[in-house]
């Protein structure tokens, strides 16, 4: 299998070509080793940051914006979204508060990216 990717590990954005044959992975186009790691993860276990709103009770706003503090496996995004949609948190919430610790055992915390005061 051959795959074309753009490395997003730094602003240069090298265009990568990834060759996969069984467990053998070769990468061309990367200017540094981070490009190889990025390409390897993309073809073996792609990860993404998750940004999502969480319902708030007793707050001046009904939702608080959140994000994971590190990428989580792409294959777990759907499960994480449906879990987070079922949550309700109590105001007040401060920017940076941990809303969910170790989200679905991914090692990532879901953190508030804004403050929501109590009504």
Interface contacts to ligand SF4, rule CB under 6 A: 7, 9-10, 12-14, 30-32, 34-35, 38
Q: Least distance to ligand SF4 from the beta carbon of 94, Å?
A: 34
The span from the CA of 22 to the CA of 10, in Å, is 28
The span from the CA of 91 to the CA of 110, in Å, is 16
- Select 26 or 34, whichever has its Cβ closest to ligand SF4: 34
> What does residue 90 show for φ and ψ, rounded to 5 degrees?
-90, 135
Q: Least distance to ligand SF4 from the beta carbon of 34, Å?
A: 4
> What does residue 84 show for φ and ψ, rounded to 5 degrees?
-70, -35
| 34, 51 Cβ separation under 8 angstroms | no
Q: Least distance to ligand SF4 from the beta carbon of 43, Å?
A: 15
- Select 34 or 94, whichever has its Cβ closest to ligand SF4: 34
Q: Least distance to ligand SF4 from the beta carbon of 41, Å?
A: 12
- Select 30 or 106, whichever has its Cβ closest to ligand SF4: 30
> Cα–Cα distances in Å, from 30 out to 9, 36, 41?
11, 7, 14
Residue nearest to ligand SF4 (CB): 35
């Amino acid at each position: 299998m051959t795959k074309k990717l753009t490395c997003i590990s730094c602003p240069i954005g090298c265009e990568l070509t990834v060759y996969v044959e069984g467990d053998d992975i070769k990468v061309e186009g990367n200017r540094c080793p981070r490009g190889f790691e990025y390409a390897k993860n993309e073809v073996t276990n792609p990860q993404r940051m998750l940004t999502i709103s969480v319902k708030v009770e007793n707050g001046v706003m009904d939702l608080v914006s959140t994000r994971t503090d590190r990428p989580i496996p792409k294959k777990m995004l759907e499960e994480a979204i449906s879990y987070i949609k079922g949550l309700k948190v109590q105001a007040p919430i401060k920017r940076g508060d941990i809303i969910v610790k170790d989200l679905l055992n991914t090692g990532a915390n879901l953190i508030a990216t804004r403050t929501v005061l109590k009504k």
